[in-house]
Amino acid sequence: MARKKQYDFFKAMEHLAANTHQAAELLAGLVRNYNAETTLITESEKIHILEKEADTIVTELTNELYDAFITPIDREDILVISERIDDILDGINGVTYLFENLVITQLRPETDVFADMIVTAVKGVHTATVEFPKFKHSKTLKSMIDEVNTIESEADRLYSRLKKDLFTNETDPLEVIKWKEIYDRLEEIINNSEDAVDIIDGMVIKNT
């Protein structure tokens, strides 16, 4: 009887992070070329497909964790980082639904700046996930973690400024409600990205 090939948990996490990175790039492109009747529909569908694939990866990874006799790092650590990366992708996917369900026909200034920050943060998560299996020799892992922490601080300042402008200058209460929810979701994506790299950082310390 053929022996079952050993499941590669690191490769699965890398695949999950790659999907998330791709979704972030799609979101940024959607925002830069926003059109509620064209690009929102086409680019959102691409993100939805990535999110569904990610759910499949997480389910498969979780099942393998139940069955695996030995794992490269603690099972709980593999699960928590995978779930956090999946949270990032869920957040990106959720933004597209907000644009649709809140009937956003025009984006507010600097939404593209926020989206670009998300790309930077998620790219850092992707790189950190790729580098983690070789953390003892990686020359870029620590700098990636630091970069995501830095972009999270910058995003916090942007988030505060945009919300202050929204509450100060927007006269339509409905627009205030809509954009508060959108800004909150964008910030949550960045926060989840920082959480992901901080978890990886903790894993490095734990396994050193």
Task: Give the pLDDT confidence score for residue 3 in this predicted structure.
Answer: 44
DSSP letter at 33 equals: T
| Two tokens, residue 145 | 């973690």
Q: Torsion over CA of 34, 35, 39 and 41, rounded to 10 degrees?
A: 120
Q: What is the 3-state secondary structure (H, E, C) of 85-127?
A: HHHHHHHHHHHHHHHHHCCCCCCCCCHHHHHHHHHHHHHHHHH
The residue ranking higher by pLDDT, 43 or 137, is: 43
Residue 4 lies in a domain: no
Residue 44 lies in a domain: yes
Burial string for 27-55 (b: 16+ CB within 10 Å, else e) reads: bbbbbeebeeeebbeebbebbeebbeebe
- pLDDT greater than 90 at residue 116: yes
pLDDT in tens, 117-167: 999 999 999 999 998 888 777 778 888 889 999 999 999 999 999 999 999
In this structure, are residues 3 and 20 in contact, taking their beta carbons and an 8 Å threshold?
A: no
Task: Give the pLDDT confidence score for residue 66 in this predicted structure.
Answer: 86
Residue 135 lies in a domain: yes
Q: What are the CA-CA distances from residue 117 to residues 3, 79, 151, 172 (Å)?
A: 45, 26, 7, 27
Residue 173 lies in a domain: yes
Radius of gyration of the chain (CA): 18
Residue type (1 letter), 30: L
Average pLDDT, the chain: 92
In this structure, the number of other CB atoms found within 10 A of the CB of residue 188 comes to 17
Residue with tokens 């973690």: 145
Residue type (1 letter), 2: A
- pLDDT greater than 50 at residue 1: no
Task: Give the pLDDT confidence score for residue 87 in this predicted structure.
Answer: 96
Domain at 28, CATH number: 1.20.58.220
Residue 3 lies in a domain: no
Domain count, the chain: 1
Rounded to two decimals, the pTM is 0.93
Residue 49 lies in a domain: yes
Task: Give the pLDDT confidence score for residue 110 in this predicted structure.
Answer: 97
CA distance 83 to 97: 21
Residue 1 lies in a domain: no
Per the structure, the complete domain to which residue 62 belongs is given by 9-206
